Structure formats: structure tokens, C-alpha cells
């Protein structure tokens, strides 16, 4: 039986060959610690890290690549942004569709005296930018939103929110692009994003253990790091550097992973986001089309419209639990997917699927139309079981 | 070997800054090389960018506004 991987929203697989090639090449021919001394291999290692920064900066329309710190994932980036910025008495606004990488730090901060407003979304997972604007108060310090839901694929109106916030005052706009970096256009200038958190192992086609944090120039002065230590810079001082990116990059970096991330991001830039988006949209549309005929037995959550969602589809087959369905898909069809709550309990409450969750099929650029057809066949198989 | 008195170095906040500067300068066809920071200039363990003193003004103009911190020192 073949294996069809439909869990790209958790992490993309397979990866482009260039990703592994870059990692092997770094380890075989360079291997040194970037920025920890001045010899040639050390500089070569530093160059790999710098090149990755530059490719990512270009992808997100960030003027200065040094405003981008590399992290181990989106979760680390979000924790730096949230825990670093918010102090007791500050107010933060977020949505009901957020991942636990936002919700859990916020619930912790709430216990420390930060005031948290969670803006409800429609049962299809939509956010009304008006609702964010209306929730802004005098003490609002930040708005944090996901760019797209990892449960329903619903794309949030990030640019609309960003533009309004800039008119409403000095409010930091932080965006979690874990689901969209590499899959949709992300432009920090056009979207008025002050802080961008992203992960490298999903649509950027890098390895796990990579991600990044962009902070608008100057704003880093107000955000202390979560971790401190050696950076290779300013070694004569025992005080942590206060400049980007060193401030948030303590300890030896994941250079081999960063080499892979650079190659993954290069792959994206080479194909262009437009081409990647078109392909993922086509796969999603094809799968959703198959679902129309199954309407009586299959509930598809979210917008049900490939043009305005990512390549993520959550559904349930009537009278079958998500975990039973996922087991059947794997055992009988070789389809690997993700059942349950997808680390986003509040999103499932919003769409009415808490606590049992949904089955999530998530397509990637390297899936084919045949995979989308096969996925639909498997669902018919389950219905007729 | 070129005469050291005709060369100078730029010190940066970190290797990331040095690498960014190297790229910007090389793109302008000015010759330069990353070398370990000479001990007598700084106790920092990083790298600096060596260039020909005759390019000093040019180089300063190019880096101005692109990097928050850099310091030019003669060798
Ligand atoms: C919307 C969203 N935010 C954040 C994350 C966290 O990403 P990571 O696990 O790479 O930190 C994920 C994925 O797991 C996600 O889907």
C-alpha cells in the first residue's frame, strides 16, 4: 500500500532534495560554529546563517535582514514576543482561533496580571476586523493574531487589521505566520506587522527546529530576551547584547538546520509564492469539490472555499469519531492525517467540535491531484465500510 | 602582502553585521576581507572587515545608515 502524507499543517513532508543537500554540505565541508571565532570555516558558517536571514527577509519584505532573529520554531518566537512585551496591567487582544503557542503564554501572563481579550470568531472561523478595532482600549499594548487557522485554514484579514491598528495608536501588531510563511504572501510593510513569528518546518520546507522572529527596527529595545548567554559578539561584556539579532540568539545556533531552512526558503522563492499558492489552492478546491457530493455524510468545517483558505480541510464523517476515522485512513488507505484538537481547543469550541475535534487533511505543494482524489475515495470508503 | 599601513579595518557589533557589511561592500566592487579582530584593537573574539585605506570615504558612505554600529580603525 502506498503512503499519502496529508499532515503538512503539522510539518511538511517530503522536503525538497535541496534542503537535505544543504545540510549535508554544511556538515561535511564547514561544520564550524558561526561567529565564535575568526577562522575561515567559522566565517563560512556565519555566511550560511546570514544568507538564510537574507532569503527570509526578502520573502517577508523586511528591509534589514538583521531585524530577523532565528529561533527554534514559531513557539519560541511567540514566547519572546508575548512574555517579553507584556507587563502586568497591559491589555492584549487575540482571537478565538489561536494555537496554544499563543493561548498558553497568554493564559500564563493573565495569571500574572495581564488583561487578555479573546475576540470570538464566526462558526466558520472568520474574524471581523471591526471586532478587533472595537476591543482596543487605552491600555491595549498588543494585538496578536494567527495569519491562518491551523484547524479550518481560514485566512485572517491581517492587512485590514494592521492598517486600522496603525490609525488607532501605538499598538504592537504581532502575527503568527506558522501556517502561512511560504504558502501565502506575507509582507510586513504592507500588512503593518510589527512582530512576525514563523516556523521553518512547515511551508518554508526547512527542517524541524527552525523558525524566526522579526521585530520592527527599534521595538526590540522594549522586549527583553527570554534566554541569555553567549552570542559570539561583545564577549568582553557580561551584559547581554541589546541589539538584533544577537539579543535573542544566545547559545550555539542550529546551523545545520538553518542551512536547510535557507535551502527550503530558496526553493519557495524559486518557485514563487504565487505558483505555490495556485497549486495548493487547486488541490484544496479539487478535494472540496469531491466533498460536495458527500454532503449528507460529511461535515466540512470552515469556509469551504479554496480561494480564501489555506490547504487545510477539517471535517467529520457523521457518527464516526475523528480518531477512528484517522486509524481507518491509515490502515486501509495509507493516508496519514491528524485527528483531534490540533493544539487549538478554543478554535474547536468556535466551530462546535470541542472536545472530540475533527479529522484534518492538509495538503502541501508536493502533493498531487491524484492525492486529493485518493483522499476523497478513502472518505467514500469509510462511509461505505 | 600589502603594506599594513595602507589598510584599515571596520569593527562591527557582531558577525551578522560584519557579513551584511561585506555583502554590501562587495556588491559595490570594493575589495575587502573578513579577518579575525586583531588583538590590539579589541578583546572581542569576532571578525572584522579589512579594506584599503584609500577606500575609506567610499566605504563609510556606503555603510552609513545601513548598519547601526561600526567603527573604522587603522591597523
Ligand atoms: C497557527 C500555529 N501557530 C503556531 C504553531 C507552532 O509552531 P511550532 O510548533 O513550529 O512552534 C503552529 C503549528 O504547530 C500553528 O499551526
Instruction: Please say if the pLDDT value at position A3 is more than 60.
Output: yes
Going by pLDDT thresholds of 50, 70 and 90, the confidence category of residue B2 is low
Give chain B's count of helices (H) and strands (E). 2, 4
- Helical ranges in chain A per DSSP H: 17-29, 40-59, 74-85, 100-111, 129-135, 158-168, 255-271, 273-292, 322-333, 345-351, 369-383
Going by pLDDT thresholds of 50, 70 and 90, the confidence category of residue B4 is low
Helix (H, G, I), strand (E, B) or coil at A297: coil
Among A94, A125, A199, A202, name the best residue to mutate to test ligand 1's pocket (greatest count of ligand atoms within 8 A of Cβ): A199
**Which chain A residue shows the shortest CA-CA distance from B13?**
A233
Instruction: Give residue B42's pLDDT.
Output: 76
How far is Cα A277 from Cα A272, in angstroms, rounded to an integer?
9
Query: Cell for A260?
Result: 536547510
Q: Mean pLDDT, chain A, as a whole number?
A: 97
CB of A150 closer than 6 angstroms to any ligand 1 atom: yes
| Overall average pLDDT of the A8-21 stretch | 98
Instruction: Give residue B45's pLDDT.
Output: 63
How far is Cα A272 from Cα A276, in angstroms, rounded to an integer?
6
Q: Which of B7, B10, B21 is nearest to B71 (CA)?
A: B10
Q: Identify the burial level of A250 via C-beta atoms within 10 angstroms of its C-beta, where 0-12 means exposed, 13-18 middle and 19 or more buried.
A: middle
| Overall average pLDDT of the A172-196 stretch | 98
**What confidence tens digit (pLDDT) does each residue in A82-97 have?**
999 999 999 999 999 9
Instruction: Please say if the pLDDT value at position B73 is more than 70.
Output: yes
| Overall average pLDDT of the A33-60 stretch | 94
- Does any CB of chain B come closer than 8 Å to the CB of residue A245? yes
Query: How would you classify the pairing of strands A358-362 and A338-340?
Result: antiparallel
How far is Cα A156 from Cα A145, in angstroms, rounded to an integer?
8
Domains and CATH numbers, chain A: 17-271 (3.40.640.10), 272-384 (3.90.1150.10)
Output the pTM of the full model.
Answer: 0.95
**What confidence tens digit (pLDDT) does each residue in B17-65 have?**
999 999 999 999 999 999 998 888 876 768 999 999 999 999 999 999 8
CB of A95 closer than 6 angstroms to any ligand 1 atom: no
How far is CA A117 from each of CA A77, A122, A123, A162, A175, rounded to the nearest angstrom?
A: 21, 16, 18, 17, 16
Q: Residues of B at the A interface (Cβ-Cβ below 8 Å)?
A: 13-20, 23, 34-37, 42-47, 66-69
Number of Cα atoms under 13 Å in the Cβ half of residue A377? 11
**Which chain A residue shows the shortest CA-CA distance from B65?**
A64
Question: Are B42 and A236 a contacting pair at CB < 8 A?
Answer: yes
DSSP 8-state code for residue A111: H
Nearest-CB residue to A34 (from B15, B35, B43): B15
Instruction: Please say if the pLDDT value at position A300 is more than 90.
Output: yes
Going by pLDDT thresholds of 50, 70 and 90, the confidence category of residue B75 is confident
- Other CB atoms within 10 A of residue A331 CB: 10
Cβ contacts from A onto B, under 8 A:
72
Are A66 and A35 in contact by the 8 Å Cβ rule? The answer is no
- Does any CB of chain B come closer than 8 Å to the CB of residue A34? yes
Query: How would you classify the pairing of strands A298-300 and A312-317?
Result: antiparallel
Query: Does A52 or B36 have the greater pLDDT score?
Result: A52
Instruction: Give residue A179's pLDDT.
Output: 98
State which fold the B4-74 domain adopts.
Answer: Alpha-Beta Plaits (3.30.70)
Instruction: Please say if the pLDDT value at position A366 is more than 60.
Output: yes
Going by pLDDT thresholds of 50, 70 and 90, the confidence category of residue B70 is confident
CB of A180 closer than 6 angstroms to any ligand 1 atom: no
Question: Are B45 and A235 a contacting pair at CB < 8 A?
Answer: yes
**What confidence tens digit (pLDDT) does each residue in A335-357 have?**
999 999 999 999 999 999 999 99
**What confidence tens digit (pLDDT) does each residue in A100-148 have?**
999 999 999 999 999 999 999 999 999 999 999 999 999 999 999 999 9
Helix (H, G, I), strand (E, B) or coil at A338: strand
Question: Are B13 and A234 a contacting pair at CB < 8 A?
Answer: yes
* Nearest-atom index, ligand 1, CA of A201: 10
Among A311, A343, A360, name the best residue to mutate to test ligand 1's pocket (greatest count of ligand atoms within 8 A of Cβ): A343
Q: Which of A350, A298, A321 is nearest to A103 (CA)?
A: A350
CB of A362 closer than 6 angstroms to any ligand 1 atom: no
Question: Are A232 and B35 a contacting pair at CB < 8 A?
Answer: no
Angle between helices A322-333 and A369-383 (to 10 degrees): 120
Amino acid at each position: 500500500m502506498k503512503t499519502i502524507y496529508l499532515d503538512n499543517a503539522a510539518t511538511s513532508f517530503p522536503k525538497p532534495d535541496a534542503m537535505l543537500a544543504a545540510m549535508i554540505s554544511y556538515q561535511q565541508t564547514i561544520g564550524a560554529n558561526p561567529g565564535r571565532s575568526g577562522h575561515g570555516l567559522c566565517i563560512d558558517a556565519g555566511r550560511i546563517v546570514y544568507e538564510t536571514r537574507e532569503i527570509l527577509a526578502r520573502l517577508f519584505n523586511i528591509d534589514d535582514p538583521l531585524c530577523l532573529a532565528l529561533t527554534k520554531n514559531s513557539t519560541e518566537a511567540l514566547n519572546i514576543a508575548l512574555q517579553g512585551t507584556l507587563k502586568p496591567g497591559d491589555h492584549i487582544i487575540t482571537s478565538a482561533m489561536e494555537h496554544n503557542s499563543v493561548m498558553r503564554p497568554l493564559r500564563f501572563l493573565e495569571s500574572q496580571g495581564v488583561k487578555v481579550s479573546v475576540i470570538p470568531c464566526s462558526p466558520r472561523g472568520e474574524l471581523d476586523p471591526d471586532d478587533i478595532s472595537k476591543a482596543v482600549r487605552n491600555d491595549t499594548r498588543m494585538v496578536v493574531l494567527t495569519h491562518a487557522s491551523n484547524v479550518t485554514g481560514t485566512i485572517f484579514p491581517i492587512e485590514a487589521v494592521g492598517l486600522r491598528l496603525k490609525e488607532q495608536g501605538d499598538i504592537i501588531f504581532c502575527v503568527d505566520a506558522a501556517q502561512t510563511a511560504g504558502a501565502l504572501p506575507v509582507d510586513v510593510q504592507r500588512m503593518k506587522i510589527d512582530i512576525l513569528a514563523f516556523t521553518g518546518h512547515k511551508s518554508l520546507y526547512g527542517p524541524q527546529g527552525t523558525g524566526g522572529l522579526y521585530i520592527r527596527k527599534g521595538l526590540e529595545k522594549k522586549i527583553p530576551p527570554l534566554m541569555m548567554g553567549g552570542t559570539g559578539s561583545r564577549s568582553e561584556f557580561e551584559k547581554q547584547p541589546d541589539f538584533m539579532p544577537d539579543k535573542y540568539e544566545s547559545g550555539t545556533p542550529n546551523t545545520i538546520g538553518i542551512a536547510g531552512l535557507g535551502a527550503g526558503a530558496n526553493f519557495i522563492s524559486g518557485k514563487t509564492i504565487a505558483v505555490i499558492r495556485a497549486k495548493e489552492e487547486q488541490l484544496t478546491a479539487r478535494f472540496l469539490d469531491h466533498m460536495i457530493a458527500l454532503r449528507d455524510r460529511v461535515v466540512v468545517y470552515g469556509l469551504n472555499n479554496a480561494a480564501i483558505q489555506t490547504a487545510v480541510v477539517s471535517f467529520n464523517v457523521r457518527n464516526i469519531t475523528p480518531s477512528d476515522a484517522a486509524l481507518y485512513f491509515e490502515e486501509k488507505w495509507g493516508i496519514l492525517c491528524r485527528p483531534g484538537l490540533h493544539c487549538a481547543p478554543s478554535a474547536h469550541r468556535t466551530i462546535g467540535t470541542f472536545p472530540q475535534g475533527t479529522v484534518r487533511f492538509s495538503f502541501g505543494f508536493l502533493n498531487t491531484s491524484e492525492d486529493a482524489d485518493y483522499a476523497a475515495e478513502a472518505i467514500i470508503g469509510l462511509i461505505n465500510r | 602582502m600589502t603594506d599594513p599601513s595602507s589598510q584599515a579595518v571596520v569593527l562591527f557589533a557582531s558577525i551578522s553585521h560584519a557579513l551584511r557589511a561585506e555583502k554590501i561592500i562587495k556588491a559595490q566592487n570594493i575589495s575587502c576581507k573578513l579577518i579575525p579582530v586583531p588583538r590590539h584593537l579589541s578583546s572581542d573574539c569576532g571578525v572584522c572587515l579589512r579594506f584599503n585605506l584609500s577606500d575609506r570615504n567610499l566605504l563609510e558612505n556606503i555603510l552609513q545608515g545601513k548598519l547601526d554600529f561600526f567603527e573604522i580603525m587603522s591597523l
